[in-house]
Homo-oligomer: A and B are copies of this chain.
């Protein structure tokens, strides 16, 4: 009998979901993308997703605030909706609460929920509140709407690969949580990520032919592999093109930290990773310039099926291993 650790999260999900025999006739997408997708009326799809945060696995109460935790719990779920090109509309929140959690803590957690709900016009429409003596957990299910749906499946050889914002900040920030010093920007990127809801909206409203999209939660390489596998293509990315924040570069330089592992495999960036044909680039850049959001080409889709390779600064190219992302098991 195989163990969960050997299967990994994705192997486990594949194994378990293959047992399920009933598929709704109207489903556009079921298990295996950022969201499940189905039509609700002519020209409108609903996109749904769920995400859990467990204490000491996904957060530590000693290194975050209840407000930031509330914002993050919602933001990571909203990011899944953004990854499909959708607009989040409603969330359902389950809290598993141990005795040590106070009412005042929950008040602040809800202030965090409230902030995100207001910012993105999302209704906290319901939930469940249960006693959970041994662990604190938060589960958020989110329902969004989309006119166009961006899946992982449509990337074509020759398409260009883009990413919003900068990479690696969250991963480096996580390492700095328990360290002394003022690393507010980097730790903030980990504790309080911004879901790219507005940016997904720009792409969805544009006429740009986005051929695939995902949000980077497991790390750039892992998530690019998700696109390559679903689209049956390969990808080449360039070390020199990976976008870094000034704070990230400065900290890596000043502390002899190799940036590349953070950029490639850090995870929890919650940036959008997407592909489009070259003829859409001018429009893309114009839209993002107008919105004052950084968007960077980092590589291109190749024929070489299901392989992601990196062209390094010295011109050498290597195939990147498919990490298991955060394999907690």
Contacts and interface: CB of A to CB of B under 8 A. Distances in A.
Contacts of A1: 102-104
Interface in A18-32: 19-24, 27, 30-31
Nearest to A109: B16
Residue among A54, A118, A126 facing the most chain B CB atoms (10 A cut-off): A126
A97 B54 CA distance: 10
A202 interface: no
Q: Tell me if A's interface is mostly helix, strand, loop or mixed.
A: mixed
Interface in A108-148: 110-111, 113-114, 117-118, 121-135, 137, 139, 141, 143
B117 A50 contact: no
A46 B2 CA distance: 40
A36 interface: yes
Contact of A52 (B15, B21, B96, B111): B96
A217 to B, nearest CB: 11
B130 A58 contact: yes
Contact of A94 (B3, B41, B52, B131): B52
Number of copies of this kind of chain in the complex: 2
Given A31-B127, A50-B126, A143-B143, A132 B19 contact: no
**Which 6 pairs from chain A and chain B are nearest by CB?**
A131-B328, A36-B125, A141-B141, A41-B41, A50-B92, A24-B123
Contacts of A93: 50
Interface in A46-105: 46, 48-52, 54, 56-58, 89-90, 92-94, 96-97, 101-104
B46 A40 contact: yes
A118 B13 contact: no
Contact of A51 (B12, B52, B128): B128
A35 interface: yes
A7 interface: yes
A96 B137 CA distance: 9
A9 interface: yes
B22 A114 contact: yes
